[in-house]
Chains A and B, each alone.
Chain A
């Protein structure tokens, strides 16, 4: 119980509403004003999770969705049912925070190149079984048409190059862990969102990615698989971008500010304050 109340110290209680506001304002600006095909409405949630722990993170996500749905003036839209997904994202972020995923790990030369190679290898290792397994490419058993797999491989390759570049340029191994955290969070989010979307919204989201849903269904996928396919496309990208943004933000905050949060020490490691 002491662990729980530490997660909700006054400092955390002050952070959460700010994080909720960041989620909503940034999400609205990116989706409606910049009209980009990503959500970017979880920055606050992940930030709270990393700094204060899983429960605080989950609460931030859930409240962000409920407030965005029901509050006077800003209320509306269809984001409410996805409060479950937001809660899961916040919870995961808390786990990453406990595991010090976002801690800077400066490295040089050989270590960096090794890490970049490791990232590329992981991607290749994940991709090969998909390429080789014919069962996945057979539309008759609820799988996806073959172009999906080509697209997935291309996207994975691009992501691997970007991540490797990030690690190399910033000379920070944490980039690898942050990318993994982002991808895992995105995949989990997609799996949690798919049934919600299928049950509540007929398997669509109301955004441009519904074209992907349509294409998948045209290729023979059922409602849940099409929804999942759309999610697996957009969520990992969105959550990885979000994770990197959070990583950059945390890097820019003063150590004095971070140290007072429950998981702040874990984040700083032996960084000079």
Chain B
């Protein structure tokens, strides 16, 4: 890599002026000089959308799925999300998310179908329990809502890299502290996860029972939580000093490095989808939503 392509750049003395931040979409100017593995421009019809757009879609889907009572809300979200999944080519990966909803869906169906308070339209009986039509309807709707929500989450996390989302938020003015917190948390979790696995394995070797009685499993918490928590907290001081040594608390606007493409069309879509979903929820709460 050549030592310097920027012979006419500043000599490196620090200025506290605000850098000329390229606005989102102005990827031409900022991109010069940055290697491709840093720019990481996403490709693909849905993936190439600005991360904020995808996030607004995800949040709005969640809002409509839960907030618009009746069938239209969850069903429309399901249809739209499935379509997006097809366009983005992630339909096969949805399976994991759908499977993860099985415990709660089972609960929803059983508890509500058989034990819905005040329902009298019995459909059939199983022993002492009676399945009611009202209960069944509620159960089915709730199931659809959970599935719609799960799919909207899945589509977001499968098509949006955290780095991209955070970089875009920074372009829009989010402070370095919030982006650090989220970025660091996401990278710390796998590391801590392996540490936890190591500890559980070590405890198992020493006799911790992960399958035995509740009391024995409860006793397993302290040897797990202790080392994990203390170990990570011991690093706080060191990491704080290291961050300060890298000028983390400098009172200037941080240089924007990566920009994600955006456009007026996407801006319009965000407003439309966002406001539209809020309007639908308000209408539903007020009882004025026209569809079932």
Chain A in direct contact with chain B (Cβ < 8 angstroms): yes
Chain A residues engaging chain B, CB cutoff 8 angstroms: 8, 10-11, 13-18, 20-22, 24-26, 28-30, 33-37, 40, 43, 59, 63, 67, 69-78, 80-81, 199-207, 210, 213-214, 217-218, 220-223, 226, 245, 249, 252-253, 257, 260
Q: Does B177 contact A (CB under 8 A)?
A: yes
Q: Does B87 contact A (CB under 8 A)?
A: no
Cross-chain pairs A/B with CB under 8 angstroms, 5 sampled: A10-B240, A200-B145, A202-B111, A204-B107, A206-B104
Tell me, in angstroms, the Cα distance from A80 to B157 when the chains sit together: 13
Given A34-B210, A202-B111, A206-B107, A22 contacting B192 (CB threshold 8 A): yes
Asked if A70 and B196 make an inter-chain contact with CB atoms under 8 angstroms apart, the answer reads no
Asked if A25 and B104 make an inter-chain contact with CB atoms under 8 angstroms apart, the answer reads no
Asked if B221 and A76 make an inter-chain contact with CB atoms under 8 angstroms apart, the answer reads no
Asked if A17 and B111 make an inter-chain contact with CB atoms under 8 angstroms apart, the answer reads no
Chain B residues engaging chain A, CB cutoff 8 angstroms: 58, 62, 66, 96-97, 100-101, 103-104, 106-108, 110-112, 114-118, 138-139, 142-143, 145-146, 149-150, 153-154, 156-158, 160-162, 177, 180-182, 184-186, 188-193, 196, 200, 210, 214, 217-218, 220-222, 224-226, 228-230, 232-237, 239-240, 243-244, 248-249
Tell me, in angstroms, the Cα distance from A210 to B138 when the chains sit together: 17
Interchain CB contact (< 8 A) of A30 among B112, B189, B221, B236: B221
Question: Total contacts A to B, CB within 8 angstroms?
Answer: 194
A contact residues around B224 at 8 Å (CB): 26, 29, 34
Smallest CB-CB separation from B62: which chain A residue?
A: A80
A contact residues around B244 at 8 Å (CB): 10
Given A13-B180, A34-B221, A223-B117, A217 contacting B111 (CB threshold 8 A): yes
Given contacts A21-B232, A36-B217, 18 further A-B contacts (CB under 8 A): A13-B181, A14-B239, A15-B233, A17-B185, A17-B188, A21-B189, A21-B191, A22-B192, A26-B224, A35-B217, A72-B158, A75-B153, A75-B154, A76-B100, A202-B112, A203-B111, A217-B116, A249-B226
A contact residues around B177 at 8 Å (CB): 8, 13
Residue in B139, B220, B225 whose Cβ sees the most chain A Cβ within 10 Å:
B225
A contact residues around B222 at 8 Å (CB): 245
Interchain CB contact (< 8 A) of B58 among A29, A70, A245: A70
B contact residues around A257 at 8 Å (CB): 233-234, 236-237
B contact residues around A221 at 8 Å (CB): 117
Given A10-B240, A25-B192, A202-B138, A72 contacting B233 (CB threshold 8 A): no
User: Top 6 closest A-B pairs, CB basis?
Assistant: A206-B104, A202-B142, A17-B185, A17-B184, A75-B157, A217-B115
Asked if B225 and A43 make an inter-chain contact with CB atoms under 8 angstroms apart, the answer reads yes
Distance (Å) between the CB of A262 and the closest chain B CB?
A: 13
Interchain CB contact (< 8 A) of A11 among B106, B112, B117, B236: B236
Distance (Å) between the CB of B281 and the closest chain A CB?
A: 11
Asked if B217 and A34 make an inter-chain contact with CB atoms under 8 angstroms apart, the answer reads yes
Tell me, in angstroms, the Cα distance from A271 to B62 when the chains sit together: 48
Distance (Å) between the CB of B133 and the closest chain A CB?
A: 16
Tell me, in angstroms, the Cα distance from A142 to B93 when the chains sit together: 44
Interface of A is mostly: helix
Asked if B243 and A14 make an inter-chain contact with CB atoms under 8 angstroms apart, the answer reads yes
Given A29-B200, A33-B210, A70-B58, A78 contacting B149 (CB threshold 8 A): yes
Asked if B107 and A205 make an inter-chain contact with CB atoms under 8 angstroms apart, the answer reads yes
Asked if A201 and B104 make an inter-chain contact with CB atoms under 8 angstroms apart, the answer reads yes
A contact residues around B153 at 8 Å (CB): 69-70, 75-76, 80
Asked if B228 and A201 make an inter-chain contact with CB atoms under 8 angstroms apart, the answer reads no
Interchain CB contact (< 8 A) of B229 among A43, A77, A80, A199: A43
Asked if B142 and A201 make an inter-chain contact with CB atoms under 8 angstroms apart, the answer reads yes
Distance (Å) between the CB of A47 and the closest chain B CB?
A: 8
Smallest CB-CB separation from B184: which chain A residue?
A: A17
Distance (Å) between the CB of A86 and the closest chain B CB?
A: 14
Given A43-B225, A217-B111, A249 contacting B230 (CB threshold 8 A): yes
Distance (Å) between the CB of A58 and the closest chain B CB?
A: 13
Distance (Å) between the CB of B245 and the closest chain A CB?
A: 11
B contact residues around A70 at 8 Å (CB): 58, 153, 156-157
Given A10-B248, A76-B153, A252-B230, A202 contacting B139 (CB threshold 8 A): yes
Tell me, in angstroms, the Cα distance from A206 to B105 when the chains sit together: 7
Interchain CB contact (< 8 A) of B200 among A13, A33, A205: A33
Tell me, in angstroms, the Cα distance from A207 to B111 when the chains sit together: 12
Asked if B236 and A14 make an inter-chain contact with CB atoms under 8 angstroms apart, the answer reads yes
Smallest CB-CB separation from B106: which chain A residue?
A: A206
Distance (Å) between the CB of A256 and the closest chain B CB?
A: 8
